[in-house]
Amino acid sequence: DADVTQTPRNRITKTGKRIMLECSQTKGHDRMYWYRQDPGLGLRLIYYSFDVKDINKGEISDGYSVSRQAQAKFSLSLESAIPNQTALYFCATSDPGGTGELFFGEGSRLTVL
């Protein structure tokens, strides 16, 4: 089983719908992240969390919200999806006491029509 699990892996939705992408991890890491990947644009940070009570905006947080339900769970919500939020979304974790290496989930491909 993967250490960082994302659901759903693929989702097609319509403009205006609310979407939640979920991430769970078994690595015991305090830090969790949501990134967005678009072709040719690399990975851009949406939100990050250092622990259950800590949530921080990344460089492209507009139109997104997150919830850290537990140390192991970090969900990303699109309150009202729009077509330019069509992208591949990655959840990642890191250990603050480690090298800073990010451990990524398998990704969630979202298409907004």
Partner 1 sequence: GQQVMQIPQYQHVQEGEDFTTYCNSSTTLSNIQWYKQRPGGHPVFLIQLVKSGEVKKQKRLTFQFGEAKKNSSLHITATQTTDVGTYFCAANSGGSNYKLTFGKGTLLTVNP
Which of 5, 44, 73, 77 is close enough to bind partner 1 by CB under 8 A?
A: 44
- Among 34, 47, 48, 74, indicate the residue that binds partner 1 (CB under 8 A): 48
Phi, psi of 85 (to 5 degrees): -95, 5
What does the block give as tokens for 17? 């719908």
Q: Shortest Cβ distance from residue 22 to partner 1 (Å)? A: 16
Contact call for residue 55 and partner 1 (CB under 8 A): no
Asked if 99 and 86 count as a contact pair (C-beta separation under 8 A), the reply is no
In this structure, what DSSP letter does residue 59 have? T
Q: Is residue 5 within the footprint of partner 1 (CB under 8 A)? A: no
Q: How far is the CB of 5 from partner 1 (least distance, A)?
A: 12
In the region spanning residues 68 to 107, those forming contacts with partner 1, defined by CB under 8 A, are: 90, 94, 96, 99-107
Q: How far is CA 19 from the centre of its chain?
A: 12
Q: Is position 43 an interface residue for partner 1 (rule: CB under 8 A)? A: yes
Q: Out of 13, 58, 61, 65, point to the residue binding partner 1 (CB under 8 A).
A: 58
Q: Give the other-Cβ count within 10 Å of 56's Cβ.
A: 12
Q: What angle do CA 67, 65, 74 make, to 5 degrees?
A: 30
Q: How far apart are the C-alpha atoms of 56 and 27, rounded to whole Å?
A: 21
**Interface positions with partner 1 (CB under 8 A):** 31, 35, 40-45, 48, 50, 58-59, 90, 94, 96, 99-107
